[in-house]
Structure 1
Amino acid sequence: MEAWDLPGFGATPPPHFGSTKEEYVDWLIDRLERIGEPVDLVGHDWGGILTARVASTRPDLVRTWARGNCPISAQYVWHPLAKTWQDPVEGDRYMNELEPTAFAKELAAGFDVPSELAEEMVRHVDGPMKQSVLRLYQIEFGEKLATAVRASRFLRLDRNHWPLLQMPTAVAAALELHWNQPE
C-alpha cells in the first residue's frame, strides 16, 4: 500500500506546477503508470475528485476505485470555510492571517476532527499548501456520481468531512469489502 501526498499538500510541487485539477490528474496518472498494473485507488476530498477523473479517463490503471468526502453535484452546499477560500480576496486574507492554534480549533469544532489530530494536521499547513488550496477552490469547483459511473455499491457513512479520522476501523472494513468483492 502507498499513500501519496499531492504536490502542495505535503509533497513539493514540481517546477511550474500551477495546482490545477488537470495538473494533479496528470501527476496521478504518471505515478500510477510507474506501478505497472491496475491499483485499488482511494481518494479523499479533492483527491476523490481527482481519482474520479483518473478512473474515468484511464480505467486501465485502476482495479477498484473508492472516494470519500468530495463534492461532485452542482447542488452541493459548500461548508463556510470553502466559501471563504473560493473568494479571491477573502481566501487570500484568510490564508495570510491563518493562525495554527485557531485553525486547529476551527477544524475540531466545525468538522468534528479530534483535537489532537487537528493539531497534527495544522502543523503541515505551509505556504505551498495554502496556495494549492486557494488555487483548487478558486479555479474549480455521491450518490449521483455512483449512479453516473454505474458503481456496484455505494456506502454512506454518517460522519462529517473526516471519516478516516473519526471512524478508521469502519472505513478500513468498507474498503476491504470493496477490494474483495468478486469482479
Structure 2
Amino acid sequence: MIDLILLAEGPKELEGGKLLAEEEGKPLYLHAFQAARQTADAMLGLRVIVVTRPGVLDEAIRAFGFNKVVVSGCRSLSEAIVAGTKAARSGASRCFLSCGRREVTGEQLTAFLQGYILSGRPLGRMSSAGGGAGAMVFAPYLLPRLLALKGEEDGSRLFEGREGRTFSYDGSGREAAGPEKAE
C-alpha cells in the first residue's frame, strides 16, 4: 500500500505563485497532478494526498479526486513532508513528489512505484530528466525518521548507507545502475 504525497506547499513551491505560473501551456502544478492521476488510475489502492496552504488549489484537488492536507504558513520543506507523512494511512509506504517537478510523467511514476513494490526494498528513489530526485518512497518503518525531519531536510539522508536497500529508477523503464549494483 502506497500513499503518494504531492508537495504543493513550502517556501520554494508557492514562492511568488510559482506553481500557478504557466509552463508548457498549463500551470506548473498540473504536470504533477496529471502524473499522479494517471498513476492512481493504474495502481489499485494508491491514495493521493496534496499538501498545500488554505485555499490554494482547492478546485483542482477536488476535480482530480485527491485528498488535501492544509499547512498554514509553512516555513520549511520538512514541515510539508511531516504534514504529508502524518496524513498518510497507517502501514502505507509514503512516496513524495514535488509539484514543481514537471518532467515526471504518469508512465514513469507508475513504473517507478510498481518497480519499488516488486523490488521488496524499503526505499525507492527516482531520478528525473531535469536532475535531482523525481520522487522518493519510504517504507512504513521509516515513519519516525520522516517525522523527525527539520528545516530543509527532504529525507535524502535516509538513503545514506542504505544503497543496497534502495530501489533506484532512472525514468527509462528500468532500475538504474547504482552503487548497489556494483560488483
The TM-score with structure 2 as length reference comes to: 0.28
Q: Which has the larger radius of gyration?
A: 1
Higher strand share: 2
Higher helix share: 1
The TM-score with structure 1 as length reference comes to: 0.28
